Structure 1
Amino acid sequence: FDYYKWSTLATAQTITVNEEGLYWLEAGTQDGCVLRDTVFVLESKPVTGLDERFAEICYPQKVFLQADEDYEKYIWQNETDEIISTDSIIWANKTGEYRLTVVDNFRCIARDTLVLTVFPVPEIEILGNHLICGETSTQLSVNISGTPENIWNFPGNFSWSTNSSDLVLSDESRFSVNVEARKWGDYEILYRLTTIDGCEKVVKFPIRFHPQPENDFVIEDDPGCNGYSKILRFTGKVTEAAKFEWDLNGRVFLDTLDLQNRVYLISEGARQYTTPPVTLIINDKGCVSDTLTKQFVNANPNFTMEADKTRGCGLLTVNFSSRMLTSDDVDFVWTFDDTEIVRQQNYTKHYADTGFYMANLTITNRVSSCRNSFTIDSMIMVFPVPIAEVIPDTDFCYPGKALLVNKNHIDSTFYYWEFNENKLSGFGYDTVALNMDDPFENIKLTVSEYGCISNPVELQLKRKPKFDFYTGNVEGCQPYSFEVFAETKDDFVDFSWVTDSLPYPTGVSNLYYLPDTGRFDISLIAFSNETGCADTLLKPGWIWVHRNPFASFEVDYPVALIDNANIRFINYSERAVNYSWDFGDGETSQEFDPVHTYNELGKYTARLFAESAHGCADTFELMINIIPSIVYAPNAFRPDSNIPENQTFMPVGVGVDPVRFNLKIFNRWGEMVFETNSLNTPWDGTLKNGKEAPQGNYVWISKYYDIQGIERNEKGQVLLIR
């Protein structure tokens, strides 16, 4: 295009706009071609929806924070930029910043921050009795905790109140109050505390003031039904809400004579060895009376109630019988567990299930209609026949100890355990740890519960063979050979020794050879031909093969002159702690680096015996030669002699350092006629100019160092013969 024309009057190809709206463009060429187009620019302006920047609440309140809906993403962060939620709604209950970022579908972003302050509120506990029996006053105290004291301890920020003018509060303080009730009743006390930040905490304390029940009653004769019933009259003092807990000890309530005054007709019951009392406890809206027990005076029960059996095991047949102690003509009615009613004097009943069963007998006089009744709650007790069941598996090979457990244990189980040679009986032996001394252990268990005896259970357990192995010494020196022996008190046991090669060697002993150092495991498999059980005994690291020491030394002079035969021995041994020297001349030493003096000429073998901390040893020996220190020089020589040794002159000495040697020959005028620095170049009678030296006496001087580094000077005369 040759030109551009925008609705904004701009003429560039590209423009920038910053307002929402409709924009049009006309573009054309010089040839008159024109194109027009429009575009609507939408400016997205997301808002977070957080209306407030600051908020204050009191603990444990919380703030409901909700962002505007229909955004693509929500990010809630705290003041440390930690993300705490990505939902649009959160509950805030901690002091700090709640930073919200929302992103719409155009990727436009809006941010906002709410600063929340949560003021601390203390925990308040009112201490005291909620129920006051027989008294009209009490004192309450307050325990305040959970916040620093300066939050709540300042003047005028607490108050006490009640929900009734019949409850009077006095001596009100921050931590206590006295309470007095003008009337018996249920009340509510309120304690209100305001913090320094204006937060209010209200605690309610319900309290009841109630009279203490007065417990008393009398038992009176029933003139019309002597021997059948008595009159029970309550003579105490209670409110209408009182609840009575009567214990008539088997007697029954026959009728209510006066409900308002609590007068009852009760049975005299059956004849017993001792006359049981009557007991009453009263609970009057939580206020409980003392337990009142009174004897049943002038008791004259007129019948007996008996059973030939009262306890049994499994199945039980009981013959119930009754006998009148007077000549009255009565009807008999037996009631068993409130379900079965039998109208006869004697009755036989079968119990097929275990449990405790009630029996009641009521007699009614056919003439006077007087009634007497008696109930025995657990008159018949049928206990289950116990079952002895021991858990151990008879096919399992036990490792010398078995844990015997009776699966059907209860607290009243009495045990009779029988083993091979031992017995154990008593309570609490539901679990027994059995040490199995013999390969087979015969076990018999009988249990007794409530006098019921189980059938005995018998079983035989078997154990793994008991064995061990030993050797003379579990530590040795490399290489270590030793023999290990098996031992057992069981019969018919075969042994296999675990080695690196198959098949394993068998027998009661095995010879081992260990060429390497370290700790070595020894394992032995034992198989009992009697029980069929096998076991493996592993002794890890049982054998310890120690590395031998390395004995070595050298001397400062393997060859030494007799006049300087102080030999220093230099010890290079390794891994040794004890040293024993034999110098070869009958002398010894225990030092690490000894020094020894040889007093006689000769060759000596010096030996070192080195021993480690574990008793392992090594030896090393070295030959030492002690030679004389005398120089032998001939006093004459003849160059033309037929004997080669007589043709030259050279002082002969042993122990001369050939590198540091010098010999000079002088004539009688003191002129040096010959000089050499080599033991291999003797004087053959020739002068330095090559001419023969004349016959005569000559003086020789030799300066040299011996093999021990000591400087020596020797001189003498020699006769040259022609």
Structure 2
Amino acid sequence: CAGQSTSLSASGASTYAWSSGGSGTPISITPGSSTTYTVTGTSAAGCTGTATISVTVNPLPIVTVNAVPTAICAGESTTLTASGANSYTWNLGSTATSFSDNPIVTTTYSVTGTSLGCTGTASTTVTVNPLPTITATASPNAICVGFSSTISASGGYSYSWNNGSTSTSFSESPLASTSYVVTGTDVNGCTGTASVFVTLMPGLTVSITPPVDNICEGESVSLVASSPGLGVGYTWDSGQNTATINISPSATTTYTVTGTDAQGCSGTADAVINVNPLPIIQFSGEPLSGCLPLNVDFTDMSTGNIAFWNWSFGDGDYSGVQNPSHTYNTGGSYSVTLVATTDYGCVDSLTFNNYINAMTLPIASFIADPPLTTEDAPTILFIDQSIGATQWEWEFGDGGTGSVVQNPSYTYLGAGEYWVTLLVTNAVGCVDSTEALITIKPTYTFYIPNTFSPNNDNRNEEFRPFGMGWDVDFYEMRIYNRWGQLIFTTTDVNKGWNGNFNGLPVEEGVYTIKAQVRALDGKAHNYIQSINLIR
């Protein structure tokens, strides 16, 4: 092979001379190309002879090696191909003309090619470029509905995102939690991937307690905002920044609160506060003053959807009707209050101080001196004992002329019972009256007949006393025969003795009567007298 040496040996002579200039045998030659060598041999006798030999010089094979590609990215493969020889031996042990390899670092590949026993070598280096370290970030990586996140990549020269973007950074407002995947390519064409997950947080749930409320004009109510979220702050459309607010709207109002949590997510809630009007209260009374008992008719003149009325008349009495009547029985000035409640429960009141003036009556009273008399002394002095009276009017009950003096005397013309009436008036014109029964008793008389004849001739058939001026409730009569036997008794002034004893007529003769009676002046009288029974 070109560049190699070989030995040429001659024989049959003593000395040798070679055409290449050498002498002796053997000689070493390194022909540059195929050459015919001649050797002249000289024997000891001086005789010469020649011989030739051709040495063929085979050229070394020109071996080349190609790597496609010569620069790869980590994890990729390259194809190595040798040429210029008949067979090959690679430093990796392969004897194939071409093969693929996946080097993990930059590698030099060498190959020895053999043709006609001659070899040639070649080598090539395959550069293994590391994959770029691609980083994907999201700022923020958790967002609320309607918010956006900035998605960014680094570590590469160019980028391709799974949403089609080729920008290094872009803003996105996903409708759901989303994974963003980016492929980054460096200047060597090597690629790396990275991903980032953007969490879409649900909207913040906010509520207000109470969500609807009815209040009355002038009242206040507390609204309390709440949320299951953590670290939630609240802002009301009325300007407050607390969870609880106290409000006193003058008209029906909708209040809105916005709650914002630590991630910036927010939610809103509304509360409607219905403001119901108070009743407009007015009333009148008729009459506003007068004498006892003073009956006043009250008239409600209030406006509004009134469902309940509560009257306080100032004397401890109350009423729940709309237009009550009330009677004052004690003198004085009274303040009247009406409390009205609407169908929504709104309450207002009106008080008229010292509205009713109930004037006290005089108290009519008198005594008679004497309270009981007889026809023998028919004059009675009437003594006024009234309280608060300034005028007096007397009626003495017998149809005669009355009197207007305070303490009159009056003489009755006959026995009887007379109702005396006193009507008194005080300084404000209030009146009172009283009456008392005056009794003029007849003059006391008690007569006992001395004879009677019960003989069925319808004349003088029954024995009994008679008279006037005595108390019939305090009377007793007893009749005894001559032997002192009680044969008749009675306490009834209208019951006489018919001359019988035990249902049989008694005989003619003298009988004794004992009577007890009390006059109307209270004096008791006892009588014992004999009577004759004649048939």
Q: Report the TM range for the smaller structure's normalisation.
A: 0.3 to 0.5
Higher relative contact order (CA 8 A, sep 6+): 2
TM-score, scaled relative to structure 2: 0.35
Provide the TM-score with structure 1 as the length reference.
Answer: 0.27
Look at both structures and tell me which one has the larger radius of gyration over its CA atoms: 2
